[in-house]
Amino acid sequence: MGSHANYFQIIEYLIYLKDEFHRIDKERFQPLIMELNNYETFHHSDNDHLPDNKQLAAKLKYSQSKMNLLLKDLLKELVVEFHNSPLVIKNYVHQFLIHIPWDEERDIPNKKFVEESRKQSIYIEMILPVTPRIGEEVTIPLLEETGKFYRGYVHEIKHNITGSTQEILLFVHPWNSYYYKWLKMKDEFERNKSWKESLKNM
């Protein structure tokens, strides 16, 4: 976090983590902590109701430079605390994206087919007892009569930790098994290998 720090994002992170403020006992942070405790963040929201660093400075009658430093230092203090006592992530959600990857769309000559496939793409959130693994087939019957893709193979999984929620994003291909994904990765590996070899001859 340098001079170009995203203070709105820092404030949002701090409010996500406000249940952890009890870890911080340094007096200089207490007025800021008390103020931040007055706000809530919401899932899938731009949280534009939150104050920015200028509004916080005015509210607490601090100079802007002092407020900016306090915000950055408070987040750093929390991160240090997580070295000693882990941040407990209490919630999780599975996010399914069933679609044709953009790099495959690019190579399909029938643009009408591409447009129809885009209309069938679907994003849905659920909380499952078991996380599907890469390569496994997933079927969501409730989507079948909606005109959207309702089944496919898990090609990629990404995890994003937002506040106290683990977001598990699963990229599902509507018809290609993981073998096709493996072939794409193999092709990418070979291209990268050839590129590195070409650098040796420059």
Q: Is the pLDDT of residue 58 over 70?
A: yes
State the amino acid at position 22 in one-letter form.
H
Contacts of 46 (CB under 8 A, 6+ apart): none
- Give residue-wise pLDDT tens across range 177-188: 999 899 989 998
Choose among 6, 12, 34, 8: nearest CA to 162.
12
Confidence of residue 21 (pLDDT cuts 50, 70, 90): very high
Handedness of CA 37, 73, 66, 24 (dihedral sign): positive
> Can you give the pLDDT at residue 3?
54
- Give residue-wise pLDDT tens across range 70-124: 999 999 999 999 998 999 998 999 999 999 999 899 889 999 999 999 999 999 9
The pair of three-digit structure tokens given for residue 141, joined into one six-digit string: 């019957």
- Give residue-wise pLDDT tens across range 135-169: 999 999 999 999 999 999 999 999 999 888 999 99
The pair of three-digit structure tokens given for residue 39, joined into one six-digit string: 């706000």
Q: Using a pLDDT cut of 90, give the percent of the chain over it.
A: 82
- Segment 45-52 shows an average pLDDT of 90
The C-alpha atoms of residue 28 and residue 65 are separated, in whole angstroms, by: 14
Give yes or no for a contact between 71 and 53, defined as CB atoms under 8 angstroms apart.
yes
Give yes or no for a contact between 175 and 159, defined as CB atoms under 8 angstroms apart.
no
The C-alpha atoms of residue 164 and residue 167 are separated, in whole angstroms, by: 10
